[in-house]
Amino acid sequence: MLGDNEVMRTTAGELAGAALRAPFTRRARRELGFCLAGAVPAVAGFFLVVALLFAGTALTATLAGAFPGLLVLVLMLRLARRLGGLHRRLAGRLLGRPFAAPPPFVAARGLLRRLDARLRDGAGWRAVAYTALKLPLALLELYAASFWVSGAINVACPLWWRVFSPSQIVTPLPAGSFGVHNTAGAFAAFLVGSATLLAAPWLTRAVTTADGWLIRGLLGPAQLAQRVAELETSRSLAVDEAAAALRKVERDLHDGAQVRLAALALGLGMAKEKLGDDGKPLDIGQAARVRELVDAAHRSAKDALVELRDLARGIHPPVLDAGLADALATLAAQSIIPVGLTVDLAGRPTPAIETIAYFCAAELLANAAKHSGANRVIMELAQHGESFLMRVTDDGIGGADPTRGSGLPGLVQRVRTVDGRLTLDSPPGGPTVITVELPLRA
Amino acid sequence: MRVVIAEDAGLLREGLTTMLTDRGHEVCAAVADGDALIAAVARHQPDVAVVDIRMPPTHTDEGLRAAVALRRDHPGTGVLVFSQYIETRYAARLLEGNASGVGYLLKDRVADVAEFADALERVATGGTALDPEVVSQLLGASRRSSGLASLTARERDVLSLMAEGRSNAGIAAALVVTGGAVEKHVASIFAKLRLPPSEGDNRRVLAVLRYLGS
**Could you write out the DSSP letters of every residue in A322-347?**
G-HHHHHHHHHHH-SS-EEEEEE-SS
Please answer yes or no on whether A269 and B16 come within 8 Å at the CB atom. Answer: no
The CA distance from B185 to the nearest CA of chain A, in Å, is 32
Separation of CA A26 from chain center: 24
d(CA A172, CA A151): 9
pLDDT for res A43:
93
Sign of CA dihedral A180, A185, A191, A194: positive
Mean pLDDT over residues A174-186, rounded?
76
CB neighbourhood size of B19 (10 A): 21
pTM for the full predicted model = 0.60
Closest partner CB to B84 (pick from A254, A269, A300)? A254
More confident residue, A155 or B16: B16
CB neighbourhood size of A440 (10 A): 18
Please answer yes or no on whether B12 and A259 come within 8 Å at the CB atom. Answer: yes
Q: Which candidate, B50, B47, B62, B40, places its Cα nearest to that of B15?
A: B50
Does the CB of B115 have a partner CB in chain A at under 8 Å? no
Please answer yes or no on whether A255 and B9 come within 8 Å at the CB atom. Answer: yes
Please answer yes or no on whether B54 and A270 come within 8 Å at the CB atom. Answer: no
Confirm if A249 and A303 have CB atoms less than 8 A apart.
no
In chain A, what residues touch B54 (CB-CB under 8 Å)?
254
What is the pLDDT confidence band of residue A5, given thresholds at 50, 70 and 90?
A: low
Q: Which of A7-16, A60-69, A289-298, B149-158 has the lowest mean pLDDT?
A: A7-16
For B111-125, the pLDDT digits (tens) are: 899 999 999 999 999
Asked whether residue A172 carries a pLDDT value surpassing 50, the answer given is: yes
In chain A, count H helices and then E strands. Answer: 14, 7
Closest partner CB to B9 (pick from A251, A259, A265)? A259
Q: Counting Cβ atoms within 10 Å, is residue A279 exposed (0-12), middle (13-18) or buried (19+)? A: exposed
What phi and psi, each to the nearest 5 degrees, are found at residue A242? -65, -45
Confirm if A268 and A293 have CB atoms less than 8 A apart.
yes
Nearest CA in chain B to A276: B114
Which residues are CB-contacts of A259 (< 8 A; sequence separation ≥ 6)?
Answer: B9, B11, B12
Please answer yes or no on whether B15 and A263 come within 8 Å at the CB atom. Answer: yes
d(CA B212, CA B151): 13
Confirm if B208 and B163 have CB atoms less than 8 A apart.
yes
Confirm if B131 and B104 have CB atoms less than 8 A apart.
yes
Q: Which candidate, A92, A102, A126, places its Cα nearest to that of A224?
A: A102
Best residue in A252, A261, A266 to probe B by mutation, most B CBs within 10 Å?
Answer: A266
Amino acid at B32: A
d(CA A29, CA A152): 14
In chain A, what residues touch B9 (CB-CB under 8 Å)?
255, 259, 263
Nearest CA in chain A to B23: A270
What phi and psi, each to the nearest 5 degrees, are found at residue A279? 70, 20
The CA distance from B171 to the nearest CA of chain A, in Å, is 23
Rg (CA), chain A: 36
In chain A, what residues touch B110 (CB-CB under 8 Å)?
262, 265-266, 269
Interface of A with B in 297-326 (CB under 8 A): 300
What is the pLDDT confidence band of residue A1, given thresholds at 50, 70 and 90?
A: very low
Closest partner CB to A273 (pick from B12, B108, B113)? B113
Q: Which candidate, B164, B176, B147, B146, places its Cα nearest to that of B201?
A: B164
Separation of CA A319 from chain center: 33
pLDDT for res B142:
59
What phi and psi, each to the nearest 5 degrees, are found at residue A271? -60, -40
Partners of residue B79 on adjacent β-strands: B49, B102
In chain B, what residues touch A273 (CB-CB under 8 Å)?
113-114
Specify the pairing of strand B128-130 against strand B102-106.
parallel
Q: Counting Cβ atoms within 10 Å, is residue A391 exposed (0-12), middle (13-18) or buried (19+)? A: middle
- The distance between the two most distant Cα atoms of chain B, rounded to a whole number of Å, is 51
Q: Which of A52-66, A112-126, A174-188 has the lowest mean pLDDT?
A: A174-188
Does the CB of B22 have a partner CB in chain A at under 8 Å? yes
What is the pLDDT confidence band of residue A230, given thresholds at 50, 70 and 90?
A: confident
CB–CB contacts below 8 A, A to B: 47
Write the ipTM.
0.82
